[in-house]
Amino acid sequence: MTVVENISWSELLKSTNLTAQHGNDGNRIATATESLKQTAHQFTQVLNERAILFANSAQFGAALHDAAAIRALLPGSGLGYLCTGDVHCQQGRYAAAISIYDQGLETVPDTDAYYQQLQQHRLAAIANNNKRVDFINELPLDIVISHIVSRIAADLGSNELYEPLYVSRAWQERILQRPDGLDFALGQEWVTLKNGHDQLVRFAPYIRRISGSIKNGIHLDDLLSRAHFSNLKRLDLFYDDPSHDALINGLQLVGDSLTHLAIEGDPYNIELYRIVESCPNLVSLVVDNVRVVMSSSSGRYPKMTHLRIYNVPVAVPSDDDVIDLLSRFPSLLSFDITPKPSSSVLTLLHEHCPYLQQLHYGCYSGATDEPDLHKVELHPNGKGITSAHLGNEGYDYDHDDLIQFLHLHRHSLEAIDFGCSNINDNDCHWKLENGNVVLQAHDHHRDMPTSLLPENDPTQTKTIFKRLVDVSFLNDDPSSSSRGFMLWLISNAPNLKAIHLTESHFLPDVSKAMIKMSHLSKLEITRVAGTAEYIDPIISLMQHHIAMEDQSTLEEIIIHIDGGNMDAVTWLGFISQMKRLKDLSLLTRVIPEDCLPALEKIGQGCSSLESLTLGTWSYRGSSIADGVIRSFRQHPNLKHLTIESKSLLATDVLALNTLPRLERLRLNYYTPDLVKDMLRRVLPNVIIE
């Protein structure tokens, strides 16, 4: 006998054709079936009412369950389809509602009591599905700007359709209301600015910034004359065109609104005064290959606070031209120039630019080889240089000028990158001796060429750099003169915290001066080759901090090892005894197996170590021997680990899983995403970068 397990409720309600019957059983079966049908209709009505109540209470899953039961009981009735579609509509799922209404209209006969309702509700769902509610107009502007517009790309292509501007008029109006305006980049595939770039021209009054290249005879004024760019604040150009007039005409069209201008490339030796006269309201100017010349009619530009002049086309700009230039910008906060004029200009900066605080002299700000120095804050009313970067491009430095410059800014100087290796100390009046400035023997009976007030004379007023916290000496070939400046700065900076220097600077007198420092917390040594001459001075400094134990202030060490000769750096093992060290970077192309004993010591010692970097990103990563990462297994405090390795072995992955407190793992840029995804599965609680 077959047992039926899957019962179709609709089959139970169908009338039965009997081939045989007993007495009046046929009529009684028909009566019973009709009672079932009536009961089913009553039941489905109750289910429909409950579904409506569920939907009104946002219990959509329960409502759809009841609607499905109605369709199962009465598949030939439109009620179940109507109920299901109506629930979808309440959810806002109009496409789903239309689909179920269509299904019902195909299934039930047009004589069904709910057929017309299905048709009506379907039309309403189609209308609602075609509606686009411009909610953006109902939101406060600050919400639109901070939560919607900020998530939309800000850099727009001049020849590309920016879709959010074309959603509706309301969207366009709201986007154009953003206080920082629109940023446009000139596309690359064009041969003229006289036509095209329609989107840029259309929204010209709302554009804040334009960036791009001007070259091959294409003229800037061809674009800027096509519309009124009344709110253009920033213009960043790579310029390579001999037409000075086209550039100046273009700048004059937007000069009243422009506050930030960058012209890099080759504007063919245009005179600087023509640019600033065209844009009198500039706050920031970056220019490349321009002549440092101001006309006699040029006025002063008190709004200019940041000026960078690179690659001056003459061999070296004259002192007179530079002094005349500086006198026109009395409010400068930062100034860069390459190549540098003579160092005598350094002693006059404060007279013409009293608020100047950041200086790059003979070097580039943001250069890849620029040391990571203490970041200074620039204040409009601050006086005195706070951050000085002295490079070698240009004239040699005069020994006395450097002393005078540093002494004049002793009260303000916070960070200095001393890249001066070419220092002329011939016929100088002062010399540096035991960390002090003294007169040369032949000058005791001679007057200085210019009389100085006692407070400006470093032989009469001791030079103390009270605010100096960060110094860098990374010049390639340190001379005895530059080492004298190094000792002078270190010995007279009581609050100095960070030193960056090459291995070749690490001579005994430098090491002794560093040992006397009370607040040294960061030490960076570059171009390390394990040279015998510098081993003992480095070890002396480390032994001093080892002996200090918990009183040591040294918390961060960065070591750049040349040519992968890590095994030649015999003093690495001393790092393991530094109890207060928190951050260690070993930057080298190769970490060989020979270094495992030293690394294992560091992994077992250095109990305060929280951050570790192994290898360097250069050369697409380092070659790191098997076992290096295992050297730090089960370190009790290591939280942040950076591995600049060309590849990761399976044993490395297993070793990473043994670090109990690891929170963040940074891998080489070229590490495949597949490896990163695998590590995320193995280390679910670690942030993988």
pLDDT above 90 as % of the chain? 39
Per-residue pLDDT, 1: 38
pLDDT for 92 beyond 90: no
pLDDT for 388 beyond 70: yes
Strand 583-587 and strand 155-157: pairing? unpaired
Per-residue pLDDT, 645: 84
pLDDT for 477 beyond 50: yes
* 650-662 confidence digits (pLDDT tens): 787 778 888 888 8
Per-residue pLDDT, 560: 93
Q: Are 614 and 624 in contact (CB under 8 A)?
A: yes
Per-residue pLDDT, 402: 94
Q: Which of 1-5, 547-551, 573-577 has the lowest mean pLDDT?
A: 1-5
Q: Which of 6-20, 164-178, 316-330 has the lowest mean pLDDT?
A: 6-20
Per-residue pLDDT, 26: 56
Per-residue pLDDT, 266: 76
Q: What is the mean pLDDT of residues 198-221?
A: 84
Give the CA-trace dihedral at 295, 298, 303, 307, to 10 degrees.
Answer: 0
Q: Which of 183-197, 382-396, 495-509, 656-670 has the lowest mean pLDDT?
A: 183-197
More confident residue, 175 or 30: 175
pLDDT for 113 beyond 60: yes
Per-residue pLDDT, 346: 94
Write the single-letter amino acid at 353: C
pLDDT for 478 beyond 70: no
Per-residue pLDDT, 557: 96
Per-residue pLDDT, 119: 93
Q: What is the mean pLDDT of residues 627-633?
A: 88
* 226-270 confidence digits (pLDDT tens): 889 999 999 998 888 778 888 899 999 999 999 999 998 877 778
pLDDT for 145 beyond 80: no
Please indicate, yes or no, whether the overall pTM of this predicted structure exceeds 0.95.
no
d(CA 373, CA 414): 10
Per-residue pLDDT, 133: 61
Q: Which residues contact 555 (CB under 8 A, 6 or more apart)?
A: 521, 522, 580, 581, 582, 583, 608
Cβ count within 10 A of residue 586? 27
pLDDT for 321 beyond 90: no
pLDDT for 384 beyond 90: yes
pLDDT for 667 beyond 90: no
pLDDT for 21 beyond 70: no
Q: What is the mean pLDDT of residues 79-99?
A: 91
pLDDT for 51 beyond 70: yes
Per-residue pLDDT, 319: 85
Q: Which of 34-48, 268-282, 447-461 has the lowest mean pLDDT?
A: 447-461
Per-residue pLDDT, 20: 46
Domains and CATH numbers, the chain: 26-129 (1.25.40.10), 138-314 (3.80.10), 333-496 (no CATH), 508-689 (3.80.10.10)
Burial code (b: 16+ CB inside 10 Å, e: under 16) for 551-575 equals ebebbbbbbbbbebebbbbebbbbb
Residue with tokens 């939907």: 55
Per-residue pLDDT, 287: 92
Mean pLDDT, all residues of the chain: 85
* 487-500 confidence digits (pLDDT tens): 999 999 999 999 99
Q: How confident is the model at residue 2 (pLDDT cuts 50, 70, 90)?
A: very low
Per-residue pLDDT, 188: 64
Q: What is the mean pLDDT of residues 318-322?
A: 86
Per-residue pLDDT, 517: 94
Q: Which of 4-13, 215-224, 243-252, 674-683 has the lowest mean pLDDT?
A: 4-13
* 502-536 confidence digits (pLDDT tens): 999 999 999 999 999 999 999 999 999 988 899 99
* Nearest Cα to Cα of residue 91 among 136, 135, 128, 46: 128
d(CA 66, CA 526): 74
pLDDT above 70 as % of the chain? 89
Distance of CA 509 to the CA centre of its chain: 40
Q: What is the mean pLDDT of residues 348-355?
A: 94
Q: How confident is the model at residue 283 (pLDDT cuts 50, 70, 90)?
A: very high
What is the rounded end-to-end Cα distance, in angstroms, of the chain? 66
pLDDT for 152 beyond 80: no
What is the DSSP annotation of 281-301?
T-SEEEEES-B----TT----
Per-residue pLDDT, 445: 44
Strand 436-439 and strand 430-433: pairing? antiparallel
